[in-house]
Protein backbone atom coordinates (compact mmCIF):
# COMPACT_ATOMS: atom_id res chain seq x y z
CA UNK A 1 0.00 0.00 0.00
CA UNK A 2 2.93 2.39 -0.53
CA UNK A 3 0.81 4.55 -2.80
CA UNK A 4 -2.59 3.73 -1.51
CA UNK A 5 -4.52 6.68 -2.84
CA UNK A 6 -6.00 4.25 -5.36
CA UNK A 7 -7.49 2.39 -2.38
CA UNK A 8 -10.98 3.32 -1.17
CA UNK A 9 -11.46 5.24 2.03
CA UNK A 10 -14.36 4.09 4.16
CA UNK A 11 -16.43 7.01 2.87
CA UNK A 12 -15.60 6.26 -0.77
CA UNK A 13 -16.47 2.62 -0.17
CA UNK A 14 -19.82 3.66 1.30
CA UNK A 15 -20.56 5.81 -1.71
CA UNK A 16 -19.59 3.01 -4.11
CA UNK A 17 -21.99 0.68 -2.30
CA UNK A 18 -24.80 3.18 -2.71
CA UNK A 19 -23.90 3.47 -6.43
CA UNK A 20 -23.98 -0.33 -6.81
CA UNK A 21 -27.25 -0.69 -4.92
CA UNK A 22 -29.39 2.30 -5.87
CA UNK A 23 -32.30 0.91 -3.80
CA UNK A 24 -30.26 1.41 -0.62
CA UNK A 25 -31.47 4.33 1.48
CA UNK A 26 -27.99 5.02 2.86
CA UNK A 27 -29.21 4.62 6.46
CA UNK A 28 -27.00 1.67 7.26
CA UNK A 29 -24.13 3.38 5.56
CA UNK A 30 -24.66 6.49 7.74
CA UNK A 31 -24.69 4.35 10.82
CA UNK A 32 -21.36 2.79 9.91
CA UNK A 33 -19.88 6.23 9.37
CA UNK A 34 -21.13 7.33 12.80
CA UNK A 35 -19.59 4.29 14.46
CA UNK A 36 -16.32 4.84 12.61
CA UNK A 37 -16.18 8.32 14.14
CA UNK A 38 -16.57 6.87 17.63
CA UNK A 39 -13.81 4.39 16.71
CA UNK A 40 -11.41 7.22 15.91
CA UNK A 41 -12.22 9.05 19.13
CA UNK A 42 -11.79 5.90 21.21
CA UNK A 43 -8.59 5.05 19.36
CA UNK A 44 -6.97 8.36 20.29
CA UNK A 45 -7.79 7.89 23.96
CA UNK A 46 -6.68 4.23 24.01
CA UNK A 47 -3.36 5.24 22.43
CA UNK A 48 -2.49 7.81 25.06
CA UNK A 49 -4.36 6.30 28.02
CA UNK A 50 -1.31 6.13 30.30
CA UNK A 51 -0.67 9.84 29.82
CA UNK A 52 -4.10 11.28 30.41
CA UNK A 53 -5.30 9.55 33.56
CA UNK A 54 -7.39 7.12 31.52
CA UNK A 55 -6.10 3.86 33.03
CA UNK A 56 -7.71 2.07 35.95
CA UNK A 57 -11.21 1.82 37.35
CA UNK A 58 -13.95 4.41 37.71
CA UNK A 59 -14.91 2.91 41.06
CA UNK A 60 -18.34 1.78 39.85
CA UNK A 61 -19.59 -1.71 39.06
CA UNK A 62 -21.70 -2.39 35.96
CA UNK A 63 -24.78 -4.59 35.50
CA UNK A 64 -22.44 -7.53 34.85
CA UNK A 65 -20.90 -7.11 38.28
CA UNK A 66 -17.62 -6.03 36.63
CA UNK A 67 -15.58 -3.01 37.66
CA UNK A 68 -16.02 -0.28 35.06
CA UNK A 69 -12.72 0.95 33.68
CA UNK A 70 -12.29 4.62 32.80
CA UNK A 71 -11.81 3.65 29.17
CA UNK A 72 -14.99 1.53 29.23
CA UNK A 73 -16.92 4.59 30.33
CA UNK A 74 -15.23 6.87 27.82
CA UNK A 75 -15.89 4.44 24.95
CA UNK A 76 -19.49 3.97 26.00
CA UNK A 77 -20.06 7.75 26.04
CA UNK A 78 -18.52 8.15 22.57
CA UNK A 79 -20.71 5.42 21.10
CA UNK A 80 -23.84 6.88 22.66
CA UNK A 81 -22.98 10.40 21.48
CA UNK A 82 -22.38 9.51 17.81
CA UNK A 83 -25.48 7.33 17.60
CA UNK A 84 -27.70 9.88 19.33
CA UNK A 85 -26.50 12.74 17.12
CA UNK A 86 -26.82 10.64 13.97
CA UNK A 87 -30.14 10.11 12.24
CA UNK A 88 -30.05 6.35 11.64
CA UNK A 89 -30.40 4.82 15.08
CA UNK A 90 -33.67 4.46 16.99
CA UNK A 91 -32.19 3.03 20.17
CA UNK A 92 -29.26 1.25 21.74
CA UNK A 93 -28.22 -1.54 24.04
CA UNK A 94 -24.80 -1.41 25.67
CA UNK A 95 -22.83 -3.73 27.88
CA UNK A 96 -22.37 -0.77 30.19
CA UNK A 97 -26.07 0.15 30.49
CA UNK A 98 -28.48 -1.86 32.55
CA UNK A 99 -31.44 -0.87 30.40
CA UNK A 100 -32.05 0.11 26.79
CA UNK A 101 -31.80 3.71 25.62
CA UNK A 102 -34.52 4.92 23.25
CA UNK A 103 -33.78 7.92 21.03
CA UNK A 104 -37.14 9.63 20.79
CA UNK A 105 -36.40 12.74 18.73
CA UNK A 106 -38.27 12.99 15.45
CA UNK A 107 -35.45 11.80 13.17
CA UNK A 108 -34.38 8.91 15.38
CA UNK A 109 -37.98 7.69 15.63
CA UNK A 110 -37.99 7.36 11.84
CA UNK A 111 -34.88 5.17 11.91
CA UNK A 112 -35.11 1.48 11.31
CA UNK A 113 -32.08 0.29 13.27
CA UNK A 114 -31.16 -0.59 16.82
CA UNK A 115 -27.48 -0.86 17.67
CA UNK A 116 -26.18 -3.16 20.40
CA UNK A 117 -22.56 -2.78 21.41
CA UNK A 118 -19.78 -3.68 23.77
CA UNK A 119 -17.96 -0.33 23.78
CA UNK A 120 -14.62 -1.71 24.92
CA UNK A 121 -14.08 -5.44 25.04
CA UNK A 122 -11.15 -7.14 26.75
CA UNK A 123 -11.27 -5.18 29.99
CA UNK A 124 -8.65 -7.33 31.68
CA UNK A 125 -6.19 -6.18 29.01
CA UNK A 126 -7.01 -2.47 28.99
CA UNK A 127 -4.38 -1.38 31.49
CA UNK A 128 -1.60 -3.40 29.89
CA UNK A 129 -1.34 -2.07 26.33
CA UNK A 130 -2.76 -5.30 24.89
CA UNK A 131 -5.16 -5.18 21.95
CA UNK A 132 -8.76 -4.41 22.87
CA UNK A 133 -11.80 -3.65 20.75
CA UNK A 134 -15.33 -2.41 20.21
CA UNK A 135 -18.03 -4.84 19.03
CA UNK A 136 -21.38 -3.86 17.51
CA UNK A 137 -24.44 -5.49 16.02
CA UNK A 138 -27.06 -3.68 13.95
CA UNK A 139 -30.59 -5.04 14.25
CA UNK A 140 -33.75 -4.07 12.35
CA UNK A 141 -36.52 -2.72 14.54
CA UNK A 142 -39.83 -4.56 14.33
CA UNK A 143 -42.35 -1.77 15.05
CA UNK A 144 -43.47 0.75 12.46
CA UNK A 145 -41.19 3.70 12.02
CA UNK A 146 -42.23 7.14 13.20
CA UNK A 147 -42.80 6.15 16.83
CA UNK A 148 -40.16 5.61 19.50
CA UNK A 149 -39.04 1.96 19.73
CA UNK A 150 -41.04 -0.18 22.13
CA UNK A 151 -40.09 -3.06 24.41
CA UNK A 152 -40.69 -5.67 21.70
CA UNK A 153 -38.17 -3.96 19.41
CA UNK A 154 -35.47 -4.67 21.94
CA UNK A 155 -36.08 -8.42 21.96
CA UNK A 156 -33.05 -8.61 19.70
CA UNK A 157 -32.47 -11.79 17.72
CA UNK A 158 -29.84 -12.96 15.30
CA UNK A 159 -32.35 -13.33 12.49
CA UNK A 160 -33.01 -9.57 12.61
CA UNK A 161 -29.38 -8.56 12.17
CA UNK A 162 -28.44 -6.63 9.05
CA UNK A 163 -24.84 -5.87 9.86
CA UNK A 164 -22.19 -6.33 12.53
CA UNK A 165 -18.65 -5.28 13.05
CA UNK A 166 -15.79 -4.50 15.34
CA UNK A 167 -12.90 -2.16 15.82
CA UNK A 168 -9.57 -3.54 16.93
CA UNK A 169 -7.20 -1.16 18.70
CA UNK A 170 -4.06 -3.17 18.04
CA UNK A 171 -0.68 -2.61 16.41
CA UNK A 172 -2.89 -1.04 13.75
CA UNK A 173 -6.42 0.12 14.31
CA UNK A 174 -8.93 -1.58 12.07
CA UNK A 175 -12.64 -1.13 11.49
CA UNK A 176 -14.20 -4.31 10.11
CA UNK A 177 -17.83 -4.78 9.27
CA UNK A 178 -20.06 -7.37 7.65
CA UNK A 179 -23.24 -6.92 5.72
CA UNK A 180 -25.14 -9.94 4.45
CA UNK A 181 -23.03 -9.72 1.27
CA UNK A 182 -19.46 -9.47 2.52
CA UNK A 183 -16.98 -8.64 5.26
CA UNK A 184 -14.62 -5.74 4.64
CA UNK A 185 -11.75 -4.44 6.76
CA UNK A 186 -10.40 -0.89 6.88
CA UNK A 187 -7.11 0.19 8.43
CA UNK A 188 -6.80 3.60 10.06
CA UNK A 189 -4.15 5.92 8.68
CA UNK A 190 -3.60 7.88 11.89
CA UNK A 191 -1.78 10.71 10.11
CA UNK A 192 -4.95 11.80 8.34
CA UNK A 193 -7.57 10.05 10.42
CA UNK A 194 -9.06 8.05 7.55
CA UNK A 195 -9.94 4.38 7.39
CA UNK A 196 -8.75 2.75 4.13
CA UNK A 197 -10.06 -0.49 2.65
CA UNK A 198 -7.09 -2.77 3.38
CA UNK A 199 -8.91 -6.15 3.62
CA UNK A 200 -11.63 -6.38 0.96
CA UNK A 201 -14.07 -9.28 1.02
CA UNK A 202 -12.57 -11.17 3.98
CA UNK A 203 -13.11 -14.94 3.91
CA UNK A 204 -12.29 -17.16 6.86
CA UNK A 205 -10.02 -19.91 5.44
CA UNK A 206 -11.80 -23.26 5.31
CA UNK A 207 -8.93 -24.90 7.22
CA UNK A 208 -7.04 -23.55 10.21
CA UNK A 209 -4.59 -24.63 12.90
CA UNK A 210 -5.06 -22.07 15.68
CA UNK A 211 -7.11 -22.87 18.77
CA UNK A 212 -7.90 -20.18 21.31
CA UNK A 213 -9.13 -21.16 24.75
CA UNK A 214 -8.45 -20.38 28.39
CA UNK A 215 -6.58 -23.59 29.22
CA UNK A 216 -6.50 -22.66 32.91
CA UNK A 217 -10.18 -23.60 33.10
CA UNK A 218 -9.63 -27.08 31.62
CA UNK A 219 -11.01 -28.94 34.64
CA UNK A 220 -14.11 -26.73 34.67
CA UNK A 221 -15.05 -27.59 31.09
CA UNK A 222 -17.45 -30.34 30.00
CA UNK A 223 -16.15 -33.81 29.14
CA UNK A 224 -16.61 -33.12 25.44
CA UNK A 225 -14.50 -29.96 25.52
CA UNK A 226 -11.81 -31.68 27.58
CA UNK A 227 -11.70 -34.56 25.11
CA UNK A 228 -11.39 -32.13 22.21
CA UNK A 229 -8.46 -30.36 23.87
CA UNK A 230 -6.83 -33.74 24.66
CA UNK A 231 -7.33 -34.79 21.06
CA UNK A 232 -5.61 -31.67 19.74
CA UNK A 233 -2.58 -32.21 21.93
CA UNK A 234 -2.49 -35.91 21.14
CA UNK A 235 -2.50 -35.22 17.41
CA UNK A 236 0.36 -32.79 17.87
CA UNK A 237 2.26 -35.36 19.93
CA UNK A 238 1.83 -37.93 17.21
CA UNK A 239 2.88 -35.29 14.69
CA UNK A 240 -0.32 -35.86 12.75
CA UNK A 241 -1.18 -32.20 13.03
CA UNK A 242 0.38 -28.96 14.01
CA UNK A 243 -2.26 -27.12 15.96
CA UNK A 244 -1.06 -24.07 17.78
CA UNK A 245 -2.59 -22.30 20.72
CA UNK A 246 -3.07 -18.51 20.65
CA UNK A 247 -5.17 -16.86 23.32
CA UNK A 248 -5.04 -13.14 24.08
CA UNK A 249 -8.24 -13.15 26.21
CA UNK A 250 -9.43 -10.14 24.25
CA UNK A 251 -12.24 -11.60 22.21
CA UNK A 252 -11.72 -9.02 19.46
CA UNK A 253 -8.01 -9.79 19.10
CA UNK A 254 -8.50 -13.56 19.22
CA UNK A 255 -11.36 -13.57 16.75
CA UNK A 256 -9.85 -11.04 14.37
CA UNK A 257 -6.74 -13.21 14.07
CA UNK A 258 -8.75 -16.41 13.66
CA UNK A 259 -11.02 -14.80 11.08
CA UNK A 260 -8.05 -13.84 8.92
CA UNK A 261 -5.84 -16.90 9.47
CA UNK A 262 -8.37 -19.62 10.24
CA UNK A 263 -8.82 -20.98 13.72
CA UNK A 264 -11.28 -21.81 16.45
CA UNK A 265 -12.20 -19.95 19.64
CA UNK A 266 -13.87 -21.64 22.59
CA UNK A 267 -15.45 -19.93 25.57
CA UNK A 268 -17.35 -22.84 27.16
CA UNK A 269 -19.53 -22.91 30.25
CA UNK A 270 -17.67 -23.32 33.55
CA UNK A 271 -18.67 -23.68 37.20
CA UNK A 272 -18.30 -19.92 37.64
CA UNK A 273 -20.26 -19.22 34.44
CA UNK A 274 -22.69 -22.13 34.01
CA UNK A 275 -24.42 -20.38 31.08
CA UNK A 276 -21.16 -19.24 29.51
CA UNK A 277 -19.39 -15.94 30.07
CA UNK A 278 -19.91 -14.01 26.87
CA UNK A 279 -23.02 -11.97 26.15
CA UNK A 280 -25.28 -12.95 23.28
CA UNK A 281 -26.73 -9.66 22.08
CA UNK A 282 -23.63 -7.48 21.72
CA UNK A 283 -20.73 -9.96 21.71
CA UNK A 284 -21.70 -13.37 20.30
CA UNK A 285 -24.40 -12.44 17.78
CA UNK A 286 -22.19 -9.84 16.06
CA UNK A 287 -19.26 -12.24 15.86
CA UNK A 288 -21.47 -15.11 14.66
CA UNK A 289 -22.87 -12.85 11.92
CA UNK A 290 -19.36 -11.83 10.80
CA UNK A 291 -17.99 -15.41 10.79
CA UNK A 292 -20.98 -16.81 8.92
CA UNK A 293 -20.74 -14.17 6.19
CA UNK A 294 -17.02 -14.98 5.94
CA UNK A 295 -17.73 -18.72 5.59
CA UNK A 296 -17.20 -19.82 9.21
CA UNK A 297 -19.55 -21.16 11.89
CA UNK A 298 -20.67 -20.18 15.40
CA UNK A 299 -22.64 -22.24 17.89
CA UNK A 300 -23.30 -22.59 21.62
CA UNK A 301 -22.49 -26.30 21.37
CA UNK A 302 -26.10 -27.21 20.67
CA UNK A 303 -27.38 -24.74 18.13
CA UNK A 304 -26.37 -21.88 15.88
CA UNK A 305 -25.68 -18.72 17.88
CA UNK A 306 -27.89 -16.71 15.51
CA UNK A 307 -30.85 -19.03 16.27
CA UNK A 308 -30.76 -18.55 20.05
CA UNK A 309 -33.99 -17.06 21.37
CA UNK A 310 -33.96 -13.74 23.18
CA UNK A 311 -34.29 -13.95 26.99
CA UNK A 312 -32.78 -10.74 28.26
CA UNK A 313 -30.47 -7.98 27.13
CA UNK A 314 -27.44 -9.28 28.99
CA UNK A 315 -27.95 -13.02 28.60
CA UNK A 316 -24.84 -15.13 28.35
CA UNK A 317 -23.99 -18.10 26.19
CA UNK A 318 -21.13 -20.55 25.65
CA UNK A 319 -19.42 -19.73 22.37
CA UNK A 320 -17.67 -21.98 19.84
CA UNK A 321 -16.70 -20.12 16.70
CA UNK A 322 -14.26 -20.58 13.88
CA UNK A 323 -13.47 -21.83 10.43
CA UNK A 324 -15.74 -24.56 9.14
CA UNK A 325 -13.41 -27.58 9.23
CA UNK A 326 -12.21 -27.01 12.81
CA UNK A 327 -15.81 -26.44 13.93
CA UNK A 328 -16.76 -29.73 12.32
CA UNK A 329 -13.97 -31.55 14.14
CA UNK A 330 -15.03 -29.99 17.47
CA UNK A 331 -18.64 -31.01 16.81
CA UNK A 332 -17.75 -34.70 17.03
CA UNK A 333 -16.50 -34.18 20.59
CA UNK A 334 -19.38 -32.01 21.68
CA UNK A 335 -21.71 -34.85 20.80
CA UNK A 336 -20.36 -36.40 24.05
CA UNK A 337 -22.08 -33.51 25.84
CA UNK A 338 -25.32 -34.28 24.08
CA UNK A 339 -24.84 -31.31 21.80
CA UNK A 340 -24.30 -30.84 18.13
CA UNK A 341 -22.08 -28.35 16.45
CA UNK A 342 -21.47 -27.44 12.83
Q: What are the residues whose beta carbons fall under 8 Å from the beta carbon of 207, sequence distance 6 or more?
A: 262, 323, 325, 326
Least distance in angstroms from the C-beta of 121 to Mn ion: 4
Rg over CA atoms, the chain: 20
Q: Which of positions 196-235 make contact with Mn ion (CB under 5 A)?
A: none
Which residue's CB is nearer to ligand F6P, number 140 or number 214?
214
User: Does residue 17 touch Mn ion according to CB under 5 A?
Assistant: no
Least distance in angstroms from the C-beta of 248 to ligand F6P: 8
User: SS in 3 state form for 11-63?
Assistant: HHHHHHHHHHCCCCCCHHHHHHHHHHHHHHHHHHHHHCHHHCCCCCEEEEECC
Which residue's CB is nearer to Mn ion, number 108 or number 267?
267
Find out whether 48 and 70 touch, Cβ atoms under 8 Å: no
Name the binder of 250 from ligand F6P, Mn ion, none, CB < 5-8 A by kind: ligand F6P
What do you get for the CA distance between the two ends of the chain, in Å? 37
Rounded-to-integer distance, Cα 277 and Cα 95, Å = 13
Rounded-to-integer distance, Cα 322 and Cα 273, Å = 21
Which residue's CB is nearer to ligand F6P, number 45 or number 66?
66
- Helix/strand/coil for 165: strand
Find out whether 37 and 82 touch, Cβ atoms under 8 Å: yes
Please give the residue whose beta carbon sits closest to Mn ion in the complex. 121
Least distance in angstroms from the C-beta of 25 to ligand F6P: 33
Which residue's CB is nearer to ligand F6P, number 158 or number 318?
318
- Helix/strand/coil for 125: helix
Which residues are at the interface with ligand F6P (CB under 6 A)? 121-124, 214, 249-251, 277-278
User: Does residue 96 touch Mn ion according to CB under 5 A?
Assistant: no
Which residue's CB is nearer to ligand F6P, number 14 or number 256?
256
Angle at 44 between CA 40 and CA 46, to 5 degrees: 110
Of 39, 31, 136, give the one whose Cα is nearest residue 85: 31
Name the binder of 258 from ligand F6P, Mn ion, none, CB < 5-8 A by kind: none
Which residue's CB is nearer to Mn ion, number 34 or number 118?
118
Name the binder of 73 from ligand F6P, Mn ion, none, CB < 5-8 A by kind: none
Of 100, 139, 131, 137, give the one whose Cα is nearest residue 118: 137
Q: Which of positions 118-137 make contact with Mn ion (CB under 5 A)?
A: 118, 121
Least distance in angstroms from the C-beta of 124 to ligand F6P: 6
User: Does residue 72 touch Mn ion according to CB under 5 A?
Assistant: no
Least distance in angstroms from the C-beta of 254 to ligand F6P: 6
Of 333, 220, 219, give the one whose Cα is nearest residue 269: 220
Least distance in angstroms from the C-beta of 271 to ligand F6P: 12
Least distance in angstroms from the C-beta of 334 to Mn ion: 24
Name the binder of 214 from Mn ion, ligand F6P, none, CB < 5-8 A by kind: ligand F6P
Residues found near Mn ion in the complex (CB under 5 A): 118, 121
Amino acid sequence: MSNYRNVFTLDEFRVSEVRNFPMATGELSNLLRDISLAAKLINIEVNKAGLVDMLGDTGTVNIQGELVKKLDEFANNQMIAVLKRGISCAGIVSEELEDVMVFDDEMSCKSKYIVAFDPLDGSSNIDNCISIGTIFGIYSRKSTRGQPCNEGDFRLEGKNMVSAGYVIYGSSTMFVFATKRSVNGFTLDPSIGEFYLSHPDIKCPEKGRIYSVNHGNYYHYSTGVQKYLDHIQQKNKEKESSYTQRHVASMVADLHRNLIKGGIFLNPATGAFPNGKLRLIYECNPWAFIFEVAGGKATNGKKRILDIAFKDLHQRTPLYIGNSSMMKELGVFLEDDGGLVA
